[in-house]
């Protein structure tokens, strides 16, 4: 029996069901949310996680499309299949717009809904149009109205680092959403999705009855593909993938978990796979960085710059209270909320006693993709040659040929144009961290504490620990002497691995980046000249 086609790029529930594409059944969640306390709901999930499909599923459900739900979980739960008028807005097309452009876009999506429901209004004000639309539809049908808003925060994301522009566009969106408060008696259900969490007061005026279910355990698996869903609904897909790669089913599952699993949106939580990456992986029969290949938001890089957030800070797990990472984007004091809400960090554990969550990078796809996207900012955009050099360095380090790996790095750095921000040690420390992080499968630490100080960089492979000290415009011998005098290597003696001390000196000579190094292993010290 041939497998069902994957709905890659299809976000409409009706189309997926009509085409009989693969559909991971989320309809039990739909029923649960529509038959619980309250009527206003908000869900935050990273991009490409199936939010638009979920909104489309709600639309088909409230339109009473029973035929589309045959064979799904909700068929046994729903007995009435009542039909409601549905207003469906997507703000996905409202990105990179000035205020006047955003106003026109809001008027356009309102007009689309007006024409579909037979409503005429010529007001130039989006809030008036929305208010009239809700009231007129209610009067015409005699039924409460359903409002579905997808990617509510899209117009704000690219200006979240710009205080003035953010304020202007935020007021525009606040004005647009304002009728939701006044029309509450006329509404059956309101559902909003987005990536980030803006405060209710700033966006939804005084509408303070929106239930944020983003971290509610009953909805942990509402978007994405859980491990259970993978194993129970996609067994044939796993077998086909494993056969294509020439590996066992067990090995295939392990590889899929390492690359695309690891998301948790509450604790406890099922393991959640990135659906976009997983389906593309199955379709192409290849492990790759599909999520990052679909685009890295510029707002993330801008916000990292704004908060002086270093790449090495991403490499280690961090503890935080809920209010520290599940915070309103426009009032955050660190980049942590944005990293979490955007999917670059996820929950990995929770301590009930301290009420602290452990956050970390979800999987290898995010780790490699994130650091690769950061690399150009430390290589002056010369990242293509950098990726080639890193790939070759990875092979050399696996062979314990650290000298050859550093020679390759030195040769590459000579091709990187000098700029003013490279004349300090910290720049090279972060650059090396990114490079080593891209080698994957290694433990990398920055500023690791010991009894007598902090080690600049520690690179630990399966059989070797490289203890590295960095200097700028000094000498590699001085760096190596510091490792020896402070006995950094003693911290790793119990690991049973080869320990190699490496002193590195970065400098700029005649406008060219240079690297010299010295290393000590088994009591020998060798000065290796720049190739």
203/154: higher pLDDT:
154
Q: Residue written as tokens 């522009």?
A: 165
Closest to 57 in 3D by CA, of 26, 90, 21, 85: 26
Query: pLDDT exceeding 70 applies to what percent of the chain?
Result: 92
pLDDT at 145 over 50: yes
Q: Indicate the burial class of 6 (C-beta count within 10 angstroms; 0-12, 13-18, 19 or more).
A: middle
Q: What's the rounded Cα separation, in Å, for the pair 128 and 165? A: 24
Residues 146-174: what's their mean pLDDT? 88
Q: What's the rounded Cα separation, in Å, for the pair 530 and 513? A: 11
Q: What is the pLDDT of residues 405-424, one digit of tens each?
A: 999 999 888 887 765 456 67
The sheet with strand 453-460 has its strands ordered as 443-450, 453-460, 464-472, 498-509, 512-521, 524-528
pLDDT of residue 374: 77
Check if the beta carbon of residue 396 is closer than 8 Å to that of residue 410: no
pLDDT of residue 375: 75
pLDDT of residue 1: 56
pLDDT at 527 over 50: no
The tokens for 502 are 């490496």
The band of 12, judged by pLDDT with boundaries at 50, 70 and 90, is very high
Reply yes or no: is the peptide bond before residue 268 cis, omega within 30 of 0. Answer: yes
Domain boundaries, the chain: 13-219, 225-288, 298-364, 380-528
Tell me what the pLDDT averaged over the chain comes to: 89
pLDDT at 359 over 50: yes
41/425: higher pLDDT:
41
- Main-chain dihedrals φ then ψ at residue 187, nearest 5 degrees: -110, 135
The band of 166, judged by pLDDT with boundaries at 50, 70 and 90, is confident
Q: What's the rounded Cα separation, in Å, for the pair 137 and 114? A: 9
The band of 203, judged by pLDDT with boundaries at 50, 70 and 90, is confident
Beta bridge partners of residue 212, listed in sequence order:
42
Report in angstroms the alpha-carbon separations of 122 from 111, 114, 115, 132. 9, 11, 12, 10
Check if the beta carbon of residue 213 is closer than 8 Å to that of residue 41: yes
Q: Indicate the burial class of 234 (C-beta count within 10 angstroms; 0-12, 13-18, 19 or more).
A: buried
Q: Give the count of alpha carbons within 13 A of 317, CB side only.
A: 14
Beta bridge partners of residue 175, listed in sequence order:
none
Residues 165-171: what's their mean pLDDT? 88
The band of 15, judged by pLDDT with boundaries at 50, 70 and 90, is very high
pLDDT of residue 142: 97
pLDDT of residue 298: 66
Domain 13-219 and domain 380-528, same fold? Reply is no
Closest to 491 in 3D by CA, of 440, 443, 446, 454: 454
Q: Residue written as tokens 């056969």?
A: 243
pLDDT of residue 422: 61
pLDDT of residue 362: 95
Q: What is the pLDDT of residues 315-358, one digit of tens each?
A: 778 899 998 888 887 777 888 888 899 899 999 999 999 999 99
The band of 513, judged by pLDDT with boundaries at 50, 70 and 90, is confident
pLDDT of residue 530: 37
pLDDT at 202 over 70: no
The band of 451, judged by pLDDT with boundaries at 50, 70 and 90, is confident
What are the residue ranges of helices labelled H in 212-309?
227-233, 235-245, 249-260, 275-284, 290-293, 298-306
The tokens for 311 are 């790449």
pLDDT at 111 over 70: yes
pLDDT of residue 531: 35
Check if the beta carbon of residue 29 is closer than 8 Å to that of residue 51: no
Query: pLDDT exceeding 90 applies to what percent of the chain?
Result: 62
Least confident of 49-63, 334-348, 352-366: 334-348
One CATH from 1.10.8, 3.40.50, 1.10.1740, 3.30.70 for 13-219: 3.40.50
- Does the domain at 380-528 match CATH 3.40.1350? Answer given as yes
The band of 119, judged by pLDDT with boundaries at 50, 70 and 90, is very high
What are the residue ranges of helices labelled H in 35-125?
51-62, 73-77, 99-117
Beta bridge partners of residue 511, listed in sequence order:
none
Residue 5 DSSP class: P
395/223: higher pLDDT:
223
pLDDT of residue 81: 96
The band of 31, judged by pLDDT with boundaries at 50, 70 and 90, is very high
The band of 391, judged by pLDDT with boundaries at 50, 70 and 90, is confident
Q: What is the pLDDT of residues 263-278, one digit of tens each?
A: 999 999 999 999 999 9
Residues 438-466: what's their mean pLDDT? 88
C-alpha angle 266/271/272, rounded to 5°?
90
The band of 206, judged by pLDDT with boundaries at 50, 70 and 90, is low
Residues 82-99: what's their mean pLDDT? 94
pTM of the prediction? 0.85
Residues 96-110: what's their mean pLDDT? 95
Closest to 329 in 3D by CA, of 160, 194, 96: 160
pLDDT at 526 over 50: no
Residues 170-194: what's their mean pLDDT? 93
pLDDT at 21 over 50: yes
């Amino acid at each position: 029996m041939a497998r069902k086609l994957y709905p890659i790029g299809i976000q409409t529930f009706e189309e997926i069901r009509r085409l009989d594409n693969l559909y991971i059944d989320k309809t039990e969640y739909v029923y649960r949310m529509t038959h619980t306390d309250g009527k206003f709901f908000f869900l935050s999930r990273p991009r490409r996680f199936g939010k638009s499909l979920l909104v489309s599923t709600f639309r088909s459900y409230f339109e009473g499309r029973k035929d589309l739900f045959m064979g799904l979980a909700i068929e046994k739960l729903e007995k009435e299949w009542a039909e409601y008028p549905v207003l469906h807005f997507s703000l996905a097309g409202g990105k990179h717009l000035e205020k006047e452009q955003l106003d026109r876009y809001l008027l356009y999506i309102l007009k689309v809904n007006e024409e579909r429901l037979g409503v005429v209004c010529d007001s130039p004000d989006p809030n008036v149009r929305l208010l009239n639309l809700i009231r007129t539809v209610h009067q015409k049908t005699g039924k409460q109205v359903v409002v579905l808003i997808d990617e509510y925060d899209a117009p704000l994301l690219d200006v979240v680092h710009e205080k003035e522009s953010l304020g202007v566009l935020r007021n525009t969106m606040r004005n647009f959403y304002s009728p939701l408060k006044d029309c509450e008696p006329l509404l059956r259900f309101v559902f909003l999705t987005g990536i980030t969490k803006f405060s209710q007061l700033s966006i939804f005026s005084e509408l303070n009855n929106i239930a944020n279910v983003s971290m509610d355990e009953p909805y942990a698996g509402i978007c994405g593909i859980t491990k259970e869903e993978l194993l129970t609904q996609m067994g044939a897909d796993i077998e086909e993938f494993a056969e294509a790669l020439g590996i066992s089913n067990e090995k295939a599952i392990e590889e899929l978990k390492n690359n695309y699993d690891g998301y948790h949106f509450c604790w406890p939580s099922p393991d959640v796979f990135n659906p976009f990456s997983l389906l593309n992986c199955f379709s192409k029969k290849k492990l790759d960085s599909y999520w990052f290949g679909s685009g890295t938001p510029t707002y993330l890089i801008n916000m990292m710059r704004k908060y002086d957030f270093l790449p090495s800070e991403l490499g280690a797990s961090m503890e935080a209270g809920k209010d520290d990472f599940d915070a309103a984007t426009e009032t955050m004091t660190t980049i942590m909320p944005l990293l979490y809400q955007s999917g670059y960090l996820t929950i990995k554990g929770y301590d009930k006693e301290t009420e602290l969550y452990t956050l970390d990078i979800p999987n290898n796809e995010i780790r490699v993709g994130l650091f690769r996207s950061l690399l150009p900012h430390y290589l002056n955009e010369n990242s293509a040659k950098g990726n080639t050099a890193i790939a070759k360095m990875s092979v050399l380090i696996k062979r314990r040929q650290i000298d050859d790996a550093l020679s390759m790095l030195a040769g590459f750095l000579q091709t990187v144009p000098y700029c003013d921000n490279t004349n300090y040690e910290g720049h090279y420390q972060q650059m090396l961290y990114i490079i080593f992080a891209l080698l994957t499968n290694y433990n990398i630490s920055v500023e690791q504490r010991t009894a007598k100080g902090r080690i600049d960089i520690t690179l630990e492979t399966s059989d070797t620990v490289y203890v590295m000290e960095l200097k700028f415009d000094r000498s590699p011998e001085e760096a190596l002497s510091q490792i020896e005098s402070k006995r950094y290597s003693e911290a790793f003696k119990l690991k049973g691995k080869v320990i190699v001390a490496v002193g590195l000196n970065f400098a700029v000579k005649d406008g060219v980046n240079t690297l010299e190094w010295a290393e000590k292993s088994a009591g020998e010290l060798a000065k290796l000249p720049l190739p």
